[in-house]
Structure 1
Amino acid sequence: MEAEAQRAEKKRPGFRFWFSCRLLQGLGLVLCAAILGRSLYLQVVDHAKWKEIQIGQVQSVVAIPVYRGKIMDRRGQDLALSIKSPCLFADGALIQDPKSTAAQLASIVGEPADKIEQKLRQNKRFIRLRRDLSIEEAQRAMALKLPGIGVTSEWRRYYPFRHIGGHVIGFVGVDGVGLEGVEKAYDGLLRHSMRSTTALRDGGRRKIWLRDAPPPLPQERYSLQLALDGYLQSVAEQALQKAVKKHHAAAGQAILMDPQTFEVMALAVWPGFDPNNYVMHQPAEWRNRAIADAFEPGSSFKTFLLAAVLDAKSARPQDRIFCENGRIQVAAHTIRDVHPYGWLTVAEVLKVSSNIGALKLADTLGSERFYRYLDQFGFGKKTGVDLPGEISGTLRPLTSWRPIDLAVMAFGQGVTVTGLQLTSAVAAIANGGVMKTPRVAKAVLDASGRVVKEFGQDQGRRVLSSATAAKLRELMQGVVEPGGTGTKAALAQYTTAGKTGTAQVVEPETRRYSLDKYTSVFVGFAPVSHARLVMTVVIHEPQPEYYGGVVAAPVFRDVMEKALPYLGVLPDKKPRELPAAVRRVSTSSKRTTGEGVAMTSAEDGPVTVPNVQGLSLKAAVAVLKDFGLAVSPQGRGRVVRQHPMAGTSATKGTAVTIYLEEVL
């Protein structure tokens, strides 16, 4: 039986093989199903995760440098821009000998070696040691070949014209945040913010840029164009600085405004500062006095008294007032005029600036009406200019006025104003009686220079009737004519209107008027019939002369004589009103250059040298040629000086040397 079983087994030799094959096939199917299931899971269920890992292996995020937007003047001249600057840094993980490294870097960093050593011992991959290296300092640092020390580039703010317009433009801190001026007011618009993009990388983790996707270039944020005119700003600053130094004054300010749009075209403050090195100046020097300092306006405030009187019809320009021969008692106070006057018309009260005449006019007007007009003109309130740090000045509520207040406010005591408030109020008179909000910014531009937003002017509010404003302009014109207090502001070729002011300074310690400190003021505009510019000049504490007509008025004249021709404003004085030096321009046949300067053909005989200061070379040559004079130019830019001087007599063919400078 046993033998038969063995023989039967031999007859079935493929069973084990068959069974083994089936087993292997089953195991193979199970394995394939497992692989397929896993594959499906990875590709379907876990797809997002592995896709992210795959992208991370071949792509990387690249930061795109974005730098702070430019600030430009109205002609497109850069006033503030961002530039690359070397920065010294350390990789704390690679520093081998902090003490020796610090000792070698001390002269470059400008800090004690022990302080640098403390920084180097920090376990950080990036340790900033010093910003704003010079090229020479960066080369010295790299020449040391110190492990873990390197030089990279950062964006920093640069102000190419240094102190010019510094109080308006302001500056940014080391972190790129605006701290003063326009930089602060429009920080959200100008400030850089990092952007990013993706790039491919190879197995060595090096970035690969394809032809259709080149490396990203640094990008600029929006730029800001100001209403400020760089040339007018530099002219105003030069004239202001000259006056402050001449009169040994403590400070000064000068503001130029377009009365039609209320755009601030120049705002000069002295002492100035360089925003590139603002830390080298005292914080008090950063202050924009034109909006942050209030002062008593003195007799310049009589302008607004007359505006109220004429508009309310409480008196007429020809009405006569007895001025008490220069002395009057009001309550316990004695009010005096600089010169004793008897009978004066209302027009003459403004022209000679009689305090007694002013207080009598205020009495005819009454406190309530006077206060209402002052409030309409914006006194005691911020103008709303787009600059930080503006104050409101002081105009006490009508309910707190004492009997003496009406009298002294008539000639500018007991009330304080800012330079910009005073300029805006006079601009409303110059444009026919409409008050608007002053502006410094003009437009927002994108990186390609296209305007993306233009700051529109508000329609304004009427504060005077047009008839009253016209009559008041006529009275203000008398102030700069012979016999008035502002004759030193008169322009040779343009009709001019204005008002002087001289105010005692209130001592902050005693709250009493100083006996030897004054504020000198002149505010005016030209031409009278259609004012192109309004200007306020304030000189603080001049010595020894202090009258506004002597100290501040000449600054107005010096600036306006350059500004109006530069803006293409044609002379509007009649021939009999013009001095002999410029009468020829009005009486001869005229033509106009692209600069808008009137020119005539030369006449026979001696000629009077015309004033070409502020003109371009082309315009100056054309003017002098029409007068029969030759030209010898020196330099490039605009005319800042000339020889022979304007108004002198010269024979035909005389060469006039004109000195030109690249004035902002």
Structure 2
Amino acid sequence: MRKSPSRIKFRNLPSSGFKKQQKASVRALEEIASTKDQSANTKSRLFVVWGVLVAAGLGLAVNLYHLQIVSGPKLTQKARNQQMVNLRPFMPRRPVIDRTNNVLALDRPVYTVYAHPKLFNKSGSDIANELAPILDKDAADLEKIFESKKSGILLSSALPEELADRISSKHLDGLELIQKYSRLYPQQDLVADVVGYVNLDRRGQAGVEYSQEKLLERSGQTVRMSRAGNGALMPDHAPEGFLHFDDLRLQLTIDSRLQRSARLALLQQMKKFGAKRGAVIVMDAWDGSLLALVSQPTYNPNEYSKADISLFKNWTVADLYEPGSTFKPLNVAIALENNIIKPDDTFNDSGSIQVADRIIRNAENKRYGRINIAQVLQHSSNIGMVQIIQRLQPSAYYNWLERLGLGQGIETDLPFEVASQLKSQEEFTASPIEAATTSFGQGFSLTPLQLVQMHGALANGGKLVTPHVVRGLIDTKGHMHYLPNLPAPRQIFSGATTQKVVEMMETVVSQGTGKASQIPGYRIAGKTGTAQVASRAGGYLSNAKITSFVGILPVESPRYVVLALVDEPKGENAFGSTVAAPIVKAVMEALIPIEQIPPSTPISSTPASP
């Protein structure tokens, strides 16, 4: 027989037990339902998280694309700019030398010295005692300075390198030395009139330091160097040879030996006659080279801040004056060139002459009677000169003055040059008094340098050359790398005319007012001048005069022009013949051995006494 299916049998439970069982079942069902809800929430959260991650990834991808592709080149350049720096290395100015290679100006390293007492490894007293002799200061004063401040005490702003090395060798803590460059002028005031100086910004302010700035500044190219993370330069990445600079020097035509002799001779005469100022110019008339240019008073360019600023302009190129009788030889040349006189012509000097409504007289009211052209120069006759120029039409005379350069400036490499002054042609030709006063060097004005240029035309066969002090840029081996482009000489007079005038000027030295410039064995031409000083208010100062003498050496082969001027000398015996002529003699005596000028005639020797 088949068994019947089994049946679930329920035990008879108490009602309380059944309820407990029922509650448990309900809790189980609730837990199952809760688990299902949590699972659903977890899925939702996972979906949100994955959504965020995917969105972030997409954002990063977009940003990466923008940085790498869109902005990549710009950001790369910006990074390189931060890693690199443009550097223009310091280039010292070129030195200045004279024609015999004596150094006149150069850049040298100097040091600014600071003290930081809080870092001293010794007592302030010990440090002061070690530094005092090096800094040329009192040790006690230094010690007080160290006690007054803990850091940043300036001890020296321009300590020479050799003294800085002495400080460094002592290995003292608390001292800071910062290198810089300073312009040094070893000759001090000897050539300040020509060289000038540079200021704290290393810019030329006077002389060739100013006018030749482009030749003195070395050109240095800007280089790019890498920087480390802390900003320090990385020398390993510097271009090869970027600190190299040339060895060129600016050479001048000035001769320091002659410059020194000229200044000494000028100072002696200025002191003797209590003069206001003076000047000496020596020019090689063959090419316009200035061998000496002295202006007194002067200044020390190493201490330019202590000088009177008026001294920074060389008055031989920056100030005008009336040349007086030193212009007479040029008027004689004009007259000879126009054939209105002959060398043997004579004139009657009665001591005075009337021109229009004026009476013109000689200096000290002297009269010389019948005199020839050479004697007009010997005695510096105003009357004779007026009569010579009266033979020339005023308009023609005026044109010749313009040909000489009056009313114009001269081309020179010295700064602050001013143009000479000449009245207009209408005013000049309106009255005969204008030509008359011009005949003896008054009524117009020029610079001393321009007068030297004009006398150079008498010495070189009639050419106006350009006075200059720059010879060129030369290297340490003597090779010339640059020559100034000077204007071509301009022919004014014929060689025959100038030789006649120079020979007439020789008689001024041998027989006339220039005897004080005589040098045994040498033929010297010259002309004295004692001119009135023009007043700014018009007319002339009654108690002031400027004395001068211009000399040409040697007469048989004229080449060198020497001009000496002394402004406002004191005393009754102050004339061009007594004040200026001895200066020219002293300068020529120095010039002769320097230029090896042979004697014109054999020098007689006196036998030694037994």
TM-score by length of 1: 0.70
Asked whether the 8 Å contact 2:325–2:528 carries over to 1, the reply is: yes
1:284 match: 310
Q: For 1:650 and 1:62, how far apart are their aligned partners in 2? A: 77
1:351 is matched with which residue: 367, 378, 403?
Answer: 378
2:520 match: 492
Query: 1:388-431, CA deviations, whole angstroms, 9 ceiling, x for partnerless residues?
Result: 11112221122112321221111111121211011000001110
Q: For 1:280 and 1:41, how far apart are their aligned partners in 2? A: 62
Specify which structure has the higher proportion of helix.
Answer: 2
**Which amino acid in structure 1 is aligned with residue 324 of structure 2?**
G
Q: For 1:220 and 1:650, how far apart are their aligned partners in 2? A: 61
Q: For 2:80 and 2:465, how far apart are their aligned partners in 1? A: 61
Query: 1:317-343, CA deviations, whole angstroms, 9 ceiling, x for partnerless residues?
Result: 11111111x233332334235432111
1:360 match: 387
2:457 match: 428
SS at match of 1:294: coil
In the alignment, structure 1 residue 82 sits paired with structure 2 residue 107: yes
SS at match of 2:471: strand
Asked whether the 8 Å contact 1:68–1:192 carries over to 2, the reply is: yes
Aligned ranges for residues 42-191 of structure 1 at < 5 Å? Answer: 46=72, 50=76, 53=79, 63-88=88-113, 131-133=157-159, 150-191=176-217
CA 1:565–1:493: 2 relative to 1, 3 Å? farther
In the alignment, structure 1 residue 265 sits paired with structure 2 residue 265: no
Aligned ranges for residues 190-269 of structure 1 at < 5 Å? Answer: 190-191=216-217, 195-198=221-224, 217=243, 219=245, 223-269=249-295
1:341 match: 368
1:632 match: none
SS at match of 1:552: helix
2:443 is matched with which residue: 374, 392, 414?
Answer: 414
1:528 is matched with which residue: 531, 535, 555?
Answer: 555
1:642 match: none
Q: For 2:542 and 2:86, how far apart are their aligned partners in 1? A: 70
Q: For 2:86 and 2:427, how far apart are their aligned partners in 1? A: 66
Distance apart, 1:526 and its partner CA: 0.5
Query: 1:6-51, CA deviations, whole angstroms, 9 ceiling, x for partnerless residues?
Result: xxxxxxxxxxxxxxxxxxxxxxxxx9xx99x979995999468548
Q: For 1:447 and 1:224, how far apart are their aligned partners in 2? A: 11
2:27 match: none
Q: For 1:323 and 1:383, how far apart are their aligned partners in 2? A: 36
**Which amino acid in structure 1 is aligned with residue 566 of structure 2?**
I
In the alignment, structure 1 residue 440 sits paired with structure 2 residue 469: yes
SS at match of 1:188: helix
**Which amino acid in structure 1 is aligned with residue 209 of structure 2?**
E
Aligned ranges for residues 18-57 of structure 1 at < 5 Å? Answer: 46=72, 50=76, 53=79
Distance apart, 1:285 and its partner CA: 2.3
Q: For 2:601 and 2:595, how far apart are their aligned partners in 1? A: 20
Q: For 2:469 and 2:276, how far apart are their aligned partners in 1? A: 26
Q: For 1:468 and 1:179, how far apart are their aligned partners in 2? A: 42
Q: For 1:382 and 1:90, how far apart are their aligned partners in 2? A: 54
**Which amino acid in structure 1 is aligned with residue 277 of structure 2?**
A
Q: For 2:520 and 2:269, how far apart are their aligned partners in 1? A: 20
Q: For 1:283 and 1:202, how far apart are their aligned partners in 2? A: 48
Q: For 1:448 and 1:64, how far apart are their aligned partners in 2? A: 25
Distance apart, 1:168 and its partner CA: 0.8
Query: 1:329-374, CA deviations, whole angstroms, 9 ceiling, x for partnerless residues?
Result: 3323342354321111122111221111111111112322222222
**Range that drifts further, 156-165 or 528-537:** 528-537
CA 1:55–1:396: 2 relative to 1, 3 Å? closer
Q: For 1:202 and 1:267, how far apart are their aligned partners in 2? A: 54
Asked whether the 8 Å contact 1:67–1:220 carries over to 2, the reply is: no
Distance apart, 1:292 and its partner CA: 1.2
Asked whether the 8 Å contact 1:441–1:455 carries over to 2, the reply is: yes
Distance apart, 1:533 and its partner CA: 1.2
2:331 match: 305
**Structure 1: 5+ residue stretches without partners:** 1-30, 96-103, 111-115, 121-125, 582-605, 607-648, 652-664
Q: For 1:55 and 1:392, how far apart are their aligned partners in 2? A: 53
Asked whether the 8 Å contact 2:379–2:513 carries over to 1, the reply is: yes
Q: For 1:533 and 1:323, how far apart are their aligned partners in 2? A: 32
CA 1:444–1:127: 2 relative to 1, 3 Å? farther
Q: For 1:215 and 1:317, how far apart are their aligned partners in 2? A: 68
Q: For 2:320 and 2:212, how far apart are their aligned partners in 1? A: 25
CA 1:564–1:208: 2 relative to 1, 3 Å? same
**Which amino acid in structure 2 is aligned with residue 383 of structure 1?**
I
TM-score by length of 2: 0.76
Asked whether the 8 Å contact 2:460–2:559 carries over to 1, the reply is: no
Q: Percent identity?
A: 30
Asked whether the 8 Å contact 2:509–2:526 carries over to 1, the reply is: yes
Distance apart, 1:479 and its partner CA: 1.0
2:592 match: 564
Q: For 1:48 and 1:449, how far apart are their aligned partners in 2? A: 52
Aligned ranges for residues 361-510 of structure 1 at < 5 Å? Answer: 361-401=388-428, 402-445=431-474, 450-481=479-510, 483-508=511-536, 510=537
The structure with higher relative contact order (CA 8 Å, sep 6+) is: 2
CA 1:212–1:383: 2 relative to 1, 3 Å? closer
Say how many residue pairs are matched: 529
Asked whether the 8 Å contact 1:64–1:218 carries over to 2, the reply is: no
Q: For 1:138 and 1:175, how far apart are their aligned partners in 2? A: 26
Query: 1:254-277, CA deviations, whole angstroms, 9 ceiling, x for partnerless residues?
Result: 101010101111100111211111
Asked whether the 8 Å contact 2:223–2:239 carries over to 1, the reply is: no
Superposition CA RMSD, Å:
4.1
Q: For 2:226 and 2:478, how far apart are their aligned partners in 1? A: 32
Q: For 2:502 and 2:223, how far apart are their aligned partners in 1? A: 61
Q: For 2:324 and 2:533, how far apart are their aligned partners in 1? A: 10
1:513 match: 540
Q: For 2:487 and 2:189, how far apart are their aligned partners in 1? A: 31
Q: For 1:195 and 1:54, how far apart are their aligned partners in 2? A: 20
2:353 match: 328
Asked whether the 8 Å contact 1:66–1:221 carries over to 2, the reply is: no
Q: For 2:70 and 2:259, how far apart are their aligned partners in 1? A: 69
Specify which structure has the higher proportion of strand.
Answer: 1
Asked whether the 8 Å contact 2:226–2:237 carries over to 1, the reply is: no
Asked whether the 8 Å contact 1:185–1:388 carries over to 2, the reply is: yes
1:10 match: none
Query: 1:137-181, CA deviations, whole angstroms, 9 ceiling, x for partnerless residues?
Result: 9989999966xx843111111100000110111111100011111
SS at match of 2:158: coil
Distance apart, 1:248 and its partner CA: 1.3
1:629 match: none
CA 1:67–1:407: 2 relative to 1, 3 Å? same
Distance apart, 1:52 and its partner CA: 7.3
Q: For 1:452 and 1:232, how far apart are their aligned partners in 2? A: 26
Distance apart, 1:450 and its partner CA: 4.2
Asked whether the 8 Å contact 1:66–1:218 carries over to 2, the reply is: no
Q: For 1:41 and 1:444, how far apart are their aligned partners in 2? A: 55
Q: For 1:496 and 1:38, how far apart are their aligned partners in 2? A: 93
Distance apart, 1:310 and its partner CA: 0.6
